Amino acid sequence: MRERGVFFTFLSFLLIGVILSLLFFSTSSNQRFSETTIEVSVLNAINAKYDDITDDIITLDPTIGFPGIQQRILPFAYTEDGNTLTITQTLPIPSGKLALYFDLINAYKVFVEDTNAQRTFDGVTVNLDVPTPATWGGTAPLSAGFNVLPHCLQYRIEDANNVSFASPSTIGCSREFSLSSIHRIDITISLLTGVDDYNLATCSFTGGCPHQDYNAEMGPYFTLRFLDANCTSCTLSAEDQFIYGPFDADEQSIAFSCTGSECTSPPIQLLLGDVLHITHSGSPITIQSAVEFTGDISTFYYQDANYSVQKTGFNTYKSNVVVFPT
């Protein structure tokens, strides 16, 4: 009987131990579940805020956000279609249009960084760095860069009179830009007023301004049309109004100008090479540049902003410096 009593006592202690272990395991599991739930909630909040910023002022792809609204604040218009990016730019860029863009992105910075709880602060802090011009107390010039991935080509507004397709930046790129990723560039220059007097086109290509039909074996190809229907004083020949042929990385220039003692129009200058640079400071013109790549465009985005997102009280954060797609 004594042995049986000892046996039952042992079983009782064993049962109590199992119950206590289950209770401890359940409590620990609930605690871990609660901690995991909090971590997931924090990550979701950070990702949501990060995506909002990306959609609002960074990504310009037509499938994200509201491109019609975005284009109202950009200093140019654009379309993105598969492997072709088309930019329509007025030169000179109206000073108000360029200043407005920087006003809006700086005002957005103030809004998104606001931590005032009375303005529905959600505990997610944002650090957004954008160019700050003199009107906002900074010294940044009114210039902006927009990258095309995966080709690592950048459309850059250098100032009110100069724009370019080039590759001065590798932000977000997995490789350096190569001219071989360009299939062709089709450029159309349109005069908007009747005050100009262009009468001459000059080119630095061997043999003068090219008129060479497309051949797939030539490499990158360009066409340049000059539309002067609004200009009654312009006397460019039909050949000067349509220039076309292959180009390479060696810099080649094209200029539309006026010769004569009574000329008033400053030149319109283009440099082809790596890849395209356009300069104009006279009466307003529009320049439409359609860049056709050898492969599809994955994204088109504003590159002059750095931003990070963090939840107050947690060490987790997300930054575009390290996570932008390639």
Q: How far does CA 98 lie from the centroid of its chain?
A: 16
Over residues 194-218, the pLDDT tens digits come to 899 999 999 999 999 999 998 878 8
Is 70 a residue whose pLDDT tops 70? no
Residue 208: phi, psi to the nearest 5? Answer: 90, -160
Cα dihedral value 285, 303, 52, 314, nearest 10 = -160
Cα dihedral value 151, 59, 123, 310, nearest 10 = 10
Proportion of the chain above pLDDT 70, given as a percent: 78
pLDDT for 322:
37
Cβ neighbours of 124 (radius 10 Å): 21
Over residues 217-270, the pLDDT tens digits come to 888 999 999 999 989 899 999 999 999 999 988 889 999 999 988 899 999 999
Q: In the block, which residue shows the tokens 């011009």?
A: 133
Task: Specify the pTM.
Answer: 0.81
Q: Residue 29 in 3-state DSSP?
A: helix
- Got the DSSP string for 149-179? ETTTEEEEEEETTEEEEE----TT-SS---G
Is 186 a residue whose pLDDT tops 90? yes
Report cis status (omega within 30 of 0) of the bond before 168. no
Report cis status (omega within 30 of 0) of the bond before 150. yes
Proportion of the chain above pLDDT 90, given as a percent: 45
Q: In the block, which residue shows the tokens 């993105």?
A: 80
Over residues 13-54, the pLDDT tens digits come to 555 655 555 555 555 554 444 445 656 676 777 888 888 888
